[in-house]
Amino acid sequence: MRSRTRLGNKSGRASVAVSKGGDTRIEASLTLTPRGDPLIVFVAKPSANVSYRQVNAAVHDVAAELERRSQALEAKWVISPTSYNRRIVVEFMDDADLGAASEMISQVLKEFGLR
């Protein structure tokens, strides 16, 4: 099994805007799966009045942007959003360019206020 350390093992929590007005009632954490693939988990802040649909929309907005950029890179990974558990996993194929993936994920998360 190849090492996935080039992607980094940084974890953190930050807010993502779920509306054009800059609503930051949703947080996301970035970690790695046991296999070493990036995992983004979205949660509503405890004091926020946020519906599950708003959180699901944030999951799909981020996943859609990751998909668009992956296509442009002719990427060898799969973007797997699951709204029922509010997660996005970026699943790498064996010959994936981890450097390109890391850069793309970091950029998208930064644009959504996650980094």
Tens digits of per-residue pLDDT, 24-81?
Answer: 678 888 888 998 888 999 888 777 788 888 889 989 999 999 999 999 888 889 999 9
Q: What is the pLDDT of residue 82?
A: 94
Helix, strand, or coil (residue 91): strand
The count of other CB atoms within 10 Å of the CB of residue 10 is 10
pLDDT grade, residue 15 (50/70/90)? very low
Give the single-character DSSP code of 98: H
Rounded to 5°, the CA angle 18-24-25 comes to: 95
Residues 6+ apart with CB under 8 A from 13: 27, 28, 29
Look at 18-22, 32-36, 63-67, 104-108 and tell me which has the smallest mean pLDDT.
18-22
Q: For the residues 8-26, what does the mean pLDDT come to?
A: 47
Enumerate domains of the chain plus CATH numbers: 7-111 (3.30.1360)
Tell me the C-alpha to C-alpha distance, in Å, between residue 25 and each of 18, 37, 46, 55, 110: 8, 26, 9, 9, 17
pLDDT of residue 109 exceeding 50, the answer is yes
